[in-house]
Amino acid sequence: MTVHNFSAGPCILPKEVLQQASQAVQEFDGLDLSLIEISHRSKSFIGVMDRAIELVKELLEVPKGYSVLFLQGGASLEFTMVPHNLMKAKGGSAAYSVTGTWAKKALKEAQKLGAATAISDSSDRNFCYIPKDESIPETADYYHCTSNNTIFGTQIKEFPSSPVPVVCDMSSDIFSRKVDVEKFGLIYAGAQKNMGPAGATVVIVNDELLGHTGRDIPTMLDYRTHIEKESMFHTPPVFAVYVSMLTLQWLKDRGGIQWVSERNAKKAGMMYGEIDRNPLFEGTADREDRSTMNACFLLKDDSLKERFDEMWKAAGISGINGHRSVGGYRASMYNALPPESVQTLVDVMKELERTKG
């Protein structure tokens, strides 16, 4: 049976990519060896890393003067790497937009190193909206935001204009829509939401921002270490980088960001269209801030839950239980999710309405 994978992360990857990746675990690049048993300094693997970085640059049209890195530690390690590299050791400060659980965690790490503050916070309504009209202090070393709030299903549609460098956690919507990299000082994303398996983190950083903090940064946390060694300062997560490279190539072959952003808009349109039309359901995020990646919704009548859960499971749908902090349901519609999977879920919702008695 076809399984429709709506998992929030780790999550769906293209079938073709999984096939190629499993093949490479058996035998890679005509070497009669596995991808994961050869040196990361071999010509074959260096080719993979170079190609992965090149694809990030191509797909996002990364301007000159920016470095692209593949690191370990997930997006969570970036929560501390960012202030280490960008916040002045003496009298430093940073402004955070607190739009969800991940943003809160990012702020907490920055506060360990200096005067990081929340300039906005949408926890008053359980993070169901994106605060507007933020005033970003000119004295901050940087401003930090989260482009897509995976747990609460909100997404920044228009990034604020900022007098200081913008740092953005794009873990759950990178490569899903066009972004103007030039407007950001630093972008980071864990791979496992829209790019590949867990274990790799992509960082895109404006080189000019580095080296001005007067801080003694631990070697592994210093972006300059990894820029200088082209993400090969130590053993990179070879499998995660390889699969990310395949996914990015898959995306490029189909028409890149233009193609996928139209497809994502179509999927989100189908999903929210049904949530709004069907009297049994309601969305949890404010309409104008709804995420194209994660649609959060509730059943208005809890007594239908058991029946609905049985129905979607029988239709081969997987991974739509909401996060415990929101409840209800969350349909994650990352790049690799085909529109047919969304149609299947919509059909089940319609069927529930028709048969509820």
Ligand X SMILES: *Cc1c(COP(=O)(O)O)cnc(C)c1O
- Does the annotation mark 169 as catalytic? yes
Which residues 112-151 are close enough to bind ligand X by CB under 6 A? 146, 150
> Which of 75/317 has CB closer to ligand X?
75
> Which of 193/215 has CB closer to ligand X?
193
What does DSSP assign to residue 205? Answer: E
Alpha helix segments (H runs only) across the chain: 15-26, 43-60, 74-86, 101-111, 223-228, 238-253, 256-277, 305-314, 339-355
> Which of 53/75 has CB closer to ligand X?
75
| Paired tokens of 160 | 């604020």
Q: Which among 68-76, 81-89, 118-126, 247-255 is the span making contact with ligand X, rule CB under 6 A? A: 68-76
> Which of 197/213 has CB closer to ligand X?
197
Q: How far is the CB of 148 from ligand X (least distance, A)?
A: 6
Q: Assess 97 for contact with ligand X (CB under 6 A).
A: no
Size of the site for ligand X (CB under 6 A): 12
Q: How far is the CB of 330 from ligand X (least distance, A)?
A: 12
Which residues 231-250 are close enough to bind ligand X by CB under 6 A? none
Which residues 144-203 are close enough to bind ligand X by CB under 6 A? 146, 150, 169, 171-172, 190, 193
One residue of 20, 76, 206, 318 binding ligand X per CB under 6 A: 76
Q: How far is the CB of 149 from ligand X (least distance, A)?
A: 7
- Does the annotation mark 133 as catalytic? no
Q: How far is the CB of 45 from ligand X (least distance, A)?
A: 22
Q: Assess 261 for contact with ligand X (CB under 6 A).
A: no
Q: Assess 291 for contact with ligand X (CB under 6 A).
A: no
Q: Return contacts of 37-45, CB within 8 angstroms, 24+ apart.
A: 40/232, 40/235, 40/236, 40/238, 41/232, 45/238
Instruction: Please identify which of the residues 141, 173, 193, 250 carries the catalytic annotation.
Output: 193
Q: How far is the CB of 156 from ligand X (least distance, A)?
A: 11
Question: What is the sign, positive or negative, of the torsion defined by CA atoms of 301, 343, 198, 113?
Answer: negative
Tell me the β-bridge partners of 93. Answer: 115
Q: Assess 24 for contact with ligand X (CB under 6 A).
A: no
| Paired tokens of 89 | 């050791």
Residue 299: its H or E element: strand 294-299
What does DSSP assign to residue 286? Answer: -
Q: What is the spatial distance between Cα 9 and Cα 293, in angstroms, rounded to a whole number?
A: 11
Q: Assess 102 for contact with ligand X (CB under 6 A).
A: yes
Task: Of 189, 215, 247, 209, give the one whose Cα is nearest residue 69.
Answer: 189
Q: Which among 21-29, 74-82, 251-259, 273-281 is the span making contact with ligand X, rule CB under 6 A? A: 74-82
- Cα 156 from chain centroid (whole Å): 13
One residue of 14, 74, 283, 322 binding ligand X per CB under 6 A: 74
Instruction: Please identify which of the residues 50, 88, 90, 102 carries the catalytic annotation.
Output: 102
Q: How far is the CB of 8 from ligand X (least distance, A)?
A: 8
Distance in angstroms between the alpha carbons of the first and the last residue of the chain: 29
How many CB atoms are located within 10 Å of the residue 264 CB? Answer: 22
Residue 54 · residue 231 · CB < 8 Å? no
Residue 252 · residue 274 · CB < 8 Å? no
> Which of 28/237 has CB closer to ligand X?
237
Q: Return contacts of 110-117, CB within 8 angstroms, 24+ apart.
A: 110/79, 110/80, 110/82, 110/83, 110/144, 112/80, 112/83, 113/80, 113/83, 113/84, 113/87, 114/83, 114/87, 114/88, 114/89, 116/83, 116/87, 117/93
Q: What is the spatial distance between Cα 223 and Cα 144, in angstroms, rounded to a whole number?
A: 17
> Which of 106/140 has CB closer to ligand X?
106
Q: Which among 70-78, 153-161, 208-216, 266-274 is the span making contact with ligand X, rule CB under 6 A? A: 70-78
- Does the annotation mark 193 as catalytic? yes
Active site residues: 102, 169, 193
Chain positions contacting ligand X, by CB under 6 A: 9, 74-76, 102, 146, 150, 169, 171-172, 190, 193
